[in-house]
A and B are shown apart, each in its own frame.
Chain A
Amino acid sequence: MTKHDGIGASSKRREDVRFLTGNGRYTDDINRPGQLYAVFVRSEVAHGRIVSLDTTEAAAAPGVAQVFTAKDFEGVGGVPCGWQITDKNGDPMKEPKHPILAEGKVRHVGDPIAVVVADTPEHAKDAAELVAVEIEDLPAVINMRDAISGGAAVHDEAPDNICYDWEFVAENKAAVDEAIRNAAHVTTLELVNNRLVANPMEPRCAIGEYDRSDDQHTLYTTSQNPHVIRLLMGAFVLGIPEHKLRVVAPDVGGGFGSKIYHYAEEAFVTFAAQKLNRPVKWTSSRSEAFVSDAQGRDHVTKIELALDADNNFTALRCTTLANMGAYLSTFAPCIPTWLHGTLLAGNYRTPLIFTNVKAVFTNTVPVDAYRGAGRPEATFQLERVIDKAARELGVSPVALRKQNFIGKDQFPYQTPVAVVYDTGDYHATMDKVVEMADLSGFETRKAEAAKRGKLRGLGFAHYIEACGIAPSSLVGALGARAGLYEAATVRVNPTGSVSVFTGSHSHGQGHETTFAQVVADMLGIPAEQIDIVHGDTNRVPFGMGTYGSRSIAVGGSAIYRSVEKIVAKAKKIAAHLLEASEADITFEDGQFKVAGTDKAKAFGEIALAAYVPHQYPIESVEPGLEETSFYDPKNFTYPSGGYACEVEVDPETGVVQVIAFHAADDFGNLVNPMIVEGQIHGGVAQGIGQAMLEHITFDENGQMQAGSFMDYAMPRASDLVMVNIDSSCNTPCTHNPLGVKGCGEAGAIGSPPAFVNAVIDALSPYKVEHIDMPLTPRAVWEAIHAARPAVAAE
């Protein structure tokens, strides 16, 4: 057994060798013979009617192969939506067409109008400037409240701009209203969950290729889920059967959700490659990414928490407007509903919960899942309103949380919002983070900071997450137009090495390392003998890809099941070779043994026998050693954790400095603790980015006000601290074979409320109740500035 690279070992990431030496192979690194280059002509206005579109001059420009417009896509489907929400009246959501290229109207800045395909990127750009577009401006709706109260319609199909009006749990509505009316105390908070751009390091890229000899299409693309793209694009857009369409997602430089979706550019290059019979490549610039990648969050929420006289939570009511942007991105409708409403119980015993979500069309870039997707929005509002309630009631925010936590002896716990939590120990993670944050020493630190003119604050949050969204039967009932299992094939090669083909996709997560650890541990062979293959629909079984922190819980479980089948078959072969009964064969540390004897065969010997079946139980066992599993989980997994953030505010300038960040997470069993820590660091960085720096806003005309890194502030190392991480409070998941829960999004979910709670705590002398994210120096200073006269008057 090779414990050093089995489950639980902090093995170094094997993929880093190629990434850090510049040998990664990203989509833009791929160049096909005879390749042409596509440049999109995009709308510069948020809403308008295309009066005329003349491509004559562009088409005649040097090097141009063809200029495409919507006319070329007549009879081609629009970009499909993968999730249907049924609204409170039982009607399906409004689902207006999302054309590949704008048909008659443009609906957001960046909406593609035409595409120039030429022999070089420069020729394509030159010709793109010659495309003559005349657009008659239409009134644009940017703000959601304006959109639903008489603003211009983004789509004729939704005159009130409402995609759906959703209630959950509808049967609880009256009881929640009643409980809030009769509560001893109600805390109300109105807040905004700010719109973000994912900004993965690698911008999107797509190459379409067509082989006339066998009518075979290939799409190379920056995707988190190549099979999903093959299904959506093949079946719903271009009408290409799966056996004629290969989708390859090679090394992908980060996704954070934004590379889940099927985008028009992918369909375009695939379509154009066949039309022109030459490969066609499109590479997004960073500026283009700002107006064409699906964005994240953008909720406007009112949350009300009712408490009884003993400070027990009695009811919660949440009213949210969720921005869809101008078109429905692939999974957009499910984010503010099933990934948000079902998490509103948090870690608490609140018996009655009701939420109303209106999804709103606006003349802005489409919005979809971004690291956490719905769950950060749920956690943020809950953890903020609880902190506010504690402040109003004059009790400790930690104590108020602990008083209302689900106890560790109450699992499995049925929440009032449909889901059943399997395990957790919220008191343990909260107590742990309180200890890590040295709460008892805080007053001393605060007094020391005050001497330097700084305001110190300490904020806590406790999150719940739901990962590995499943089972398929449930998500189907909730409106998903796909299953949510994962697939894996484990192929033992004749000389004992192993190739694992997974439907999960790694775009920074380190699957090649962790999945190999799982297999190494189970087979008792060194991880170096195991290769993890992903990202090519011609090589891996039909899989659903990577998002929602599902890879280890669902993809890892599929691998586990396949390895179990391998071991079961290998035992039959071993029994034959060892002339023993199958029931007497044990498998440990890579050795098949006859129990109670010293007779043994190594794993490699069995592998060879399976492929060279000379002495073989051929009557009952087929040759070969390769197994496939499709794992469909019984439930979500429910990671949770306590986070604490300590900050210092400079009251003169509004600058917030993060002093310390502590995370006590429960991810169940850990396969590679080092990689888990990396996920926490990255997640917390993104969460603090959202809470302190990042924001996409539009002016009244729908022009983006932070459309580049000159104005869109990404977190830098100097904005952050080394996160102090603890994993000692793990409670293994009860329903997957590895006992794992998933860790990819937790940091981004738990950190924004911890950070904001810390800043509000620091500002307590000014009685500031809330500041909407991001808490930029300007926003903090303005809150202080507004509060100062009132505080001074007291």
Chain B
Amino acid sequence: MYDFQYIRPASVADAVKALAEEDAQALSGGMTLLPTLKQRLGRPSALVDLTAIRDLVGISVSGDSVTIKGATTHAAVAASADVRRAIPALADLASHIGDPAVRNRGTIGGSVANDDPAACYPAAVLGLGATVVTNAREIAADDFFQGMFTTALEEGEIVTAVRFPIPQAANYQKFVQPASRFALTGVFAARFPGGARVAVTGASEGGVFRWAEAEAALSANWSPDAVAGLSIAADGMLGDIHGSPEYRAHLVGVMTKRAVAAA
């Protein structure tokens, strides 16, 4: 790890100011960033730790939505009775990210801002049609994720919260990569009065994406049978030692069916 300045601001405004310095980088758990730095693959001038900002931690439920602030840990989401009541699939998803150490350090803001193509949270954000709230604006999930490790965030922009609409039913099915336990393919399926949403993580070269064909079928008929006959093309799917593009494409179908069955 190269030397860097460690800054621990107490407010979002101070964090934004600190991030304006050249090569400063936000730290919100560091579950991806710290291993990268340990391997000397990054050289930030400063790390601006967001986790001490009180305004960035907490969960609230109001009527039709659940709002999780940016520096809230996965463990806190997993343990939240409010989340479990409102969107059990979201609490469940959080409870299966990484291991206990990761869940007690990693945060929702860190996860969605990093946009790892195999991360779990982006599937929930996109699958539920959530809104990503930053210090500057609100961004719809459909506009937020722009390919692997690429989001709509501007330089120095901080994810302050994610607001999830409460679905009628939802479920997340993660098929784990055997070594890392990231999603080799994860599918978040949700049912809303206006129709179904299906978001897939881990599978595509383009990062998290919505499977339109399945959404159409499920909007017409919310049942596993509705997607049993569907398949998705292997073109553009990731291929590595754990799964070929064909295998991942196959798993998208299987996991979608299982998510609907379990929702």
Which residues of A does B touch, CB under 8 Å? 125, 129, 287, 652-653, 693, 695, 697, 705-706, 709-714, 776-778, 781-782, 785
Contacts and interface: CB of A to CB of B under 8 A. Distances in A.
Interface stretch (B121-129, B146-154, B209-217, B246-254): B246-254
The 9 closest A-B pairs by CB, nearest first: A713-B179, A713-B178, A710-B180, A652-B254, A711-B179, A705-B241, A778-B243, A778-B247, A693-B178
Contacts of A705: 240-241
Interface in B223-263: 240-244, 247, 250-251, 254
27 contacts: A129-B40, A287-B39, A652-B254, A693-B179, A697-B241, A705-B240, A705-B241, A706-B179, A706-B241, A710-B179, A710-B180, A711-B180, A711-B240, A711-B241, A711-B242, A712-B179, A776-B178, A776-B242, A777-B175, A777-B178, A778-B242, A778-B243, A778-B247, A781-B247, A781-B250, A782-B247, A785-B250
A712 B178 CA distance: 8
Nearest to A287: B39
A125 B40 contact: yes
Contacts of A709: 179-180
A712 B242 CA distance: 10
Nearest to B38: A285
A125 B250 CA distance: 44
A710 B31 CA distance: 13
Nearest to A719: B178
A710 B39 CA distance: 14
Interface of B: 39-40, 175, 178-180, 240-244, 247, 250-251, 254
A715 to B, nearest CB: 10
Contacts of A706: 179, 241
A710 B98 CA distance: 11
Contacts of A697: 241
Given A711-B241, A778-B242, A653 B251 contact: yes
Contacts of A785: 250
Nearest to B185: A653
Most interface-central of A129, A705, A713, A782 (chain B CB within 10 A): A713
Contacts of B40: 125, 129
Nearest to B2: A126
A7 to B, nearest CB: 41
A653 B179 CA distance: 17
Contacts of A781: 247, 250
A693 B175 CA distance: 15
Given A693-B178, A693-B179, A710-B179, 17 more contacts: A129-B40, A653-B251, A695-B241, A705-B241, A709-B179, A709-B180, A711-B180, A711-B240, A711-B242, A713-B178, A714-B179, A778-B242, A778-B243, A778-B247, A781-B247, A782-B244, A782-B247
Nearest to B179: A713
A602 to B, nearest CB: 54
A776 B175 CA distance: 13
Contacts of B254: 652-653
Contacts of A129: 40
A110 to B, nearest CB: 15
Contacts of A714: 179
Nearest to B3: A122
A695 B175 CA distance: 20
